[in-house]
Amino acid sequence: MSSYIIEGGKKLEGEVTVSGSKNASLPIIAATILNPGITRLYNIPNIHDTQITLEILKYLGCKIKKINGKIEIDSKNITKKEIPEHLMSQMRSTVILAGAIIGRFKEAKFSYPGGCDIGARPIDLHLAAFKKLGINIIEDAGYIICKADEIKGENINLDFPSVGATENIILASIFAEGVTQITNAAMEPEIVDLAKCLNKMGAKIEGAGTNIIKITGVKKLKDISYKVMEDRIEAGTLLCAGAITGGNICINYSTPEHITPILNKLEEAGCKININTGKVYMQAPKKLKAVDIKTMPYPGFPTDMQSIFASILTTAKGTSVIIENIFENRYRYVSELKKMGAKITTEGKTAIIKGVRKLSGTKVKSTDLRGGASMVLVGLIAKGTTTVTNIEHILRGYEGLEKKLKKLGAQIYIDED
Ligand code: UD1
């Protein structure tokens, strides 16, 4: 297991470029299964989660070429419709592949997905939606076997606007007979990106980005090239890294409207934000102010930024209250930040953070992707050396995080074990 070694105390300054979005790349790579031809994708981040997804596509029979930042996926000769347990368990979003395989072949076999340990992550909404589309589901020896004679468009109301379930319904119903309508659909920008890519391929998806999405079944898709959107959570993480160090940074990022709640909270904490074409500038005050946060589905404050924001509030002036409304076990990082001197108490959905003057470097263990990133950020201001172990969690979702932080002046390197 590798570690990040961080020497705290450097103010971040300068400019970095945000990578392609992890959460848009995963469903878009899955979408290429639907086209029995060639899809060329740009801006896919080179991270563990995209590598695993591509590995599963290869296992299914896709041919994959990587040429200068472009990934070419040839899905003509898919021979398998099953995702083996050892690949499925590597991450939760593998479940998205099920929707794409079913969409193309009307059958799929997979086990329950894995992923970050941030609470129960059931797939009941996905399976209920599949059933509504006329897909028969049998659970056998840990595997879920899906089969349909015909996938039929239906009205599907989601009990909760689940991102994954919304994407899975879209993927499964691209070739459905008639119209599928999702109400209470998730509205995340990554869903809009998936719909844009599929529509370019010839699908007919309307309303992505609103809570009602309509998918009219089409007969076939065509070969395209597509550039995946930028990663809004990475953008937020880099801005917070600048903010916690009292820094002055600029990120090359062209869709600031996707991070409005993050920018608003940074401003509330005392940061100056300036937006110019393709760039977001952030100048932090000497001392940040406490702010309260409630995570919500998009366009609310993203749960993926909860731990990141908590890290910057550890030394803010005053007391901040965070309420995590999306996942039930997303405070596992707190005990690690406490080892560094943070004053945080949690109860149920709530975390209360009392800003302290000083934090100290020590050895902490990355608990999950975003929790691990919060430890890196605290390491940037902690006195002395911080060692963040188990950074495999962080490498799942951030492309070259330490390179970007280094470019901004941080003292950070990877210790390979
Ligand atoms: C996606 C993101 C993840 C983000 C999350 C919420 C990807 C690859 N991951 O995850 O980074 O944190 O959205 O913005 O895009 N739920 C059920 N039953 C289901 C499905 C979900 O109860 O069948 C619950 C979950 O347990 C959770 C909530 O709904 O409490 C939100 O989950 P969901 O929106 O589905 O998140 P993911 O798609 O897994």
Query: Which contiguous run of DSSP H or E holds residue 157?
Result: strand 155-157
Give residue 181's domain range: 22-227
Q: Which residue is closest in CA terms to ligand 1's atom 13?
A: 163
Q: Averaged over 230-253, what is the pLDDT?
A: 98
Name the residue of 126, 326, 393 whose CB sits within 8 Å of the most ligand 1 atoms, as the mutation to test its pocket.
326
Report which ligand 1 atom has the smallest distance to the Cα of 23: 15
pLDDT band at 22 (very low <50, low <70, confident <90, very high): very high
Q: Averaged over 321-342, what is the pLDDT?
A: 96
Q: Are 386 and 379 in contact (CB under 8 A)?
A: yes
Report the domain count for the chain: 2
Verify whether ligand 1 is closer than 6 Å to residue 164 (CB atom).
yes
Query: Which contiguous run of DSSP H or E holds residue 379?
Result: helix 369-381
**Side-chain half-sphere CA neighbours of 159 within 13 A:** 7
46 and 188 in a single domain? The answer is yes
13 and 96 in a single domain? The answer is no
CATH number at residue 390: 3.65.10.10
Q: Hey, what are 196's tokens?
A: 């844009």
Q: Going by C-beta distance under 8 Å and a sequence separation of 6 or more, which residues neighbour residue 374? A: 307, 308, 310, 311, 333, 337
Q: Which residue is closest in CA terms to ligand 1's atom 29?
A: 162
User: Could you report how far apart the first and last alpha carbons of the chain are, in Å?
Assistant: 6
Helices (H) and strands (E) in the chain, counts: 14, 23
* Helices of type H across 16-153: 22-31, 48-60, 85-88, 95-105, 124-132
Of the residues 206, 227, 248, the one at which a domain ends:
227
Verify whether ligand 1 is closer than 6 Å to residue 99 (CB atom).
no
Report which ligand 1 atom has the smallest distance to the Cα of 119: 26
Q: Are 259 and 236 in contact (CB under 8 A)?
A: yes
- The helix-helix angle for 232-244 and 306-313 (nearest 10°) equals 10
390 and 367 in a single domain? The answer is yes
177 and 256 in a single domain? The answer is no
List, for residues 189-234, the tens digit of each pLDDT value.
Answer: 999 999 999 999 999 999 999 999 999 999 999 999 999 999 999 9
Q: Averaged over 174-190, what is the pLDDT?
A: 98
10 and 26 in a single domain? The answer is no
List, for residues 1-21, the tens digit of each pLDDT value.
Answer: 899 999 999 999 999 999 999
Residues in the chain: 417
264 and 373 in a single domain? The answer is yes
Verify whether ligand 1 is closer than 6 Å to residue 94 (CB atom).
no
Verify whether ligand 1 is closer than 6 Å to residue 304 (CB atom).
yes
pLDDT band at 262 (very low <50, low <70, confident <90, very high): very high
Give the percent of the chain with pLDDT over 70.
98
d(CA 268, CA 365): 30
Q: In what order do the strands lie in the sheet with 13-17?
A: 13-17, 248-252, 279-283, 272-276
65 and 154 in a single domain? The answer is yes
List, for residues 85-133, the tens digit of each pLDDT value.
Answer: 888 888 878 889 999 999 999 999 998 776 545 455 689 999 999 999 9
pLDDT for the residue 120? 54
pLDDT for the residue 231? 98
273 and 347 in a single domain? The answer is yes
Report whether pLDDT(333) > 60: yes
What residues are annotated to the active site?
116
Verify whether ligand 1 is closer than 6 Å to residue 42 (CB atom).
no
d(CA 98, CA 110): 7
Mean predicted lDDT score pLDDT of the chain:
95
d(CA 315, CA 312): 7
Measured in whole angstroms, the distance separating CA 279 from the mean position of its chain's CA atoms is 21
Which residues of 207-339 form beta strands (DSSP E)? 212-216, 224-227, 248-252, 272-276, 279-283, 293-294, 319-323
pTM greater than 0.85:
yes
pLDDT for the residue 114? 60
Verify whether ligand 1 is closer than 6 Å to residue 172 (CB atom).
no
159 and 60 in a single domain? The answer is yes
207 and 287 in a single domain? The answer is no
pLDDT for the residue 121? 62
Q: Are 147 and 106 in contact (CB under 8 A)?
A: yes
Å from CA of 338 to ligand 1 middle:
27
Verify whether ligand 1 is closer than 6 Å to residue 124 (CB atom).
yes
Q: Which residue is closest in CA terms to ligand 1's atom 7?
A: 23
Å from CA of 28 to ligand 1 middle:
17
Question: Any bridge partners for residue 47, and if so which?
Answer: none
Of the residues 193, 227, 261, the one at which a domain ends:
227
191 and 290 in a single domain? The answer is no
Give the percent of the chain with pLDDT over 90.
91
222 and 260 in a single domain? The answer is no
Q: Averaged over 306-328, what is the pLDDT?
A: 97
* Percent helix / strand / coil, the chain, rounded to 5: 35, 30, 35
Å from CA of 164 to ligand 1 middle:
6
* Helices of type H across 173-322: 189-201, 232-244, 260-268, 306-313
Report whether pLDDT(61) > 80: yes
Q: Which residue is closest in CA terms to ligand 1's atom 38?
A: 164
List, for residues 345-360, the tens digit of each pLDDT value.
Answer: 999 999 999 999 999 9
pLDDT for the residue 89? 83
Å from CA of 166 to ligand 1 middle:
10
Of 97, 108, 144, 100, nearest to 124 (Cα)? 144
CA distance readout (Å), 43 to 109, 121, 279: 30, 28, 18
Report which ligand 1 atom has the smallest distance to the Cα of 123: 23
pLDDT band at 35 (very low <50, low <70, confident <90, very high): very high
Of the residues 227, 248, 277, the one at which a domain ends:
227
Report which ligand 1 atom has the smallest distance to the Cα of 24: 15
Find tokens 């659909």 and name the residue. Answer: 185
Report which ligand 1 atom has the smallest distance to the Cα of 190: 15
